[in-house]
Amino acid sequence: MRLLIVSIFAATLGVSCIGDLSHPVTYENATDARVTIYPRGRSYPAVKRVLESGATQKDNLLVGDMNPQTFVARVEAVNDSDVLVFCRAYTNGELDQLQGRIVVRSGDLGC
C-alpha cells in the first residue's frame, strides 16, 4: 500500500512539472574576474550563479509565457567587491535573437 501511495505521489509530481515554460540560456563571463550572476536581479539573492573569468554556465529561466514582448529577466552581475558590473533586462524575443546567450561584459549597465 505504501508503495502505491508513493508511486501516485511521484507520478503527480512529475506531471505537474511538464507544463513549466522555460527559456534555455547560457551565461558567459567575459570579464577578467569572477562574477556572481543574479538571473532575477539582486533583489532575489537566493538565485545566483558564480562564474570564473571566461567560464560559461547553462541554465533555464522559468517564464510565464513565450510571447516575444514579455519581460522575463533582469540579469545583474557583481564582482567580488559586490560592485555592479553588468545589468541587462531581457524579453523572450531578445533571448531568442541572442539564441539564449547572455554575455556578461564589465560596464554593460543597460538596466
Say how many domains are in the chain.
1
The backbone torsions φ and ψ at residue 66, rounded to the nearest 5 degrees and listed phi first, read: -105, 15
Q: Is residue 4 part of a domain?
A: no
pLDDT tens figures, 12-29: 444 445 668 999 999 999
Residue 73: inside a domain: yes
pTM: 0.80
The domain that contains 55 carries what CATH number? 2.60.40
For the stretch 71-88, pLDDT in tens is 999 999 999 999 999 999
Residue 15 lies in a domain: no
Q: pLDDT at residue 6 above 50?
A: no
Write out the residue range of the structural domain in which residue 65 sits: 20-109
Task: Report the 10 Å Cβ neighbour count for 13.
Answer: 9
Residues 57, 29 contacting (CB under 8 angstroms): no
